[in-house]
Amino acid sequence: MSNGQIVSATRKTGPETESIIKDFLALIKIGIVNSNLVTTFTGMWLAFQFTGGHFLQHINLIAYTIFGAALIIGGSAAMNNFLDKDIDPIMKRTKNRPTVTGRFKPNVVLTISLSFLIVGEILLFTASFSAGMWGLIGILAYVVLYTIWAKRRYVSNTVIGSISGAIPPVIGWAAVEPTLSFGALALFLIMFAWQPPHFYALAMRRKNEYSAANIPMLPVVKGFKRTKVSMLLWILLLFPLPFLLKELGVAFIALVTLLNLGWLILAIRGFKTEDDLKWASKMFVYSLNYLTITFVLMIIFAIFM
């Protein structure tokens, strides 16, 4: 092969490899994996602080939990792509997924998903039996309860799907304290109540796509006004939850309450807005910042308990 051919082959291989990696990360929904790992880590961190454990003395436990959680979340996401390959081509948001473009064949996706789920569970059970069991509950809640059963049938699909999204911090806590103290329930409830207004905002922006795919999201079935009322109620449910973590101090409760007030004010403004989609975008962005700031505050204030 001449030098020119070698250079040409290298140029083709580089972008091709990058494309495969990009498609693989899309397959496992790397954004969802990363955000859930933040909550998993927070669950571990708080459990260490609440039980008086030493974080740096349990590096193996942390590694088992983080990698195990990452694998079951990524594996569940890949399974979701596998199961939704018939409706994903209809929606603009999902039509470029590798299961739609054919970049990853169904049998390959299924193999990746099952491999991730099995290895992930082995790692979680190595961390603790409780962490492994909560991992299984999370998988079943997302794949069976949400994707297979509720997503295409019920307008309550978002609420049902929130169960699986609230489990990662519990997995993290269970790895450190298998019996689970009250703090684990607090994290579960915060994550559970946060998800409906977050996903309803996204559903409003994608209403036409969900309608075309025949997915009974709340904005599709009940309309925007009813969706706004539901979002408002879920945000109100968030207000008492920081008090369940009173060990983190008054400053933590005050700061999260301010975040709740900001979100509530934005939600109320939605009833007077002339541009529902623009407002929904603001709600979606606020929800992302809310989650990040709240969990970072948990990590910081836990240090000073």
Q: Does residue 112 fall inside a structural domain?
A: yes
Q: Does residue 8 fall inside a structural domain?
A: no
Q: Does residue 121 fall inside a structural domain?
A: yes
Look up the CATH number of the domain holding residue 277. Answer: 1.10.600
pLDDT number for residue 169: 98
Range of the domain at 26: 13-303
- Work out how many domains the chain is built from and give that number: 1
Residues 6+ apart with CB under 8 A from 73: 28, 32, 33, 36, 37, 120, 138, 168
- 184-223 pLDDT per residue, tens: 999 999 999 999 999 999 999 999 999 999 999 999 999 9
Supply the pTM of this predicted model: 0.91
* Mean local confidence (pLDDT), 30-45: 96
Separation between Cα atoms, residue 68 and residue 76, nearest integer Å: 12
Q: Does residue 290 fall inside a structural domain?
A: yes
Please determine, for residue 224, whether its predicted confidence score (pLDDT) is greater than 70: yes
Q: Does residue 5 fall inside a structural domain?
A: no
- 58-103 pLDDT per residue, tens: 999 999 999 999 999 999 999 999 999 888 888 877 777 888 888 8
Q: Does residue 4 fall inside a structural domain?
A: no
Separation between Cα atoms, residue 256 and residue 40, nearest integer Å: 19
Q: Does residue 235 fall inside a structural domain?
A: yes
Q: Does residue 6 fall inside a structural domain?
A: no
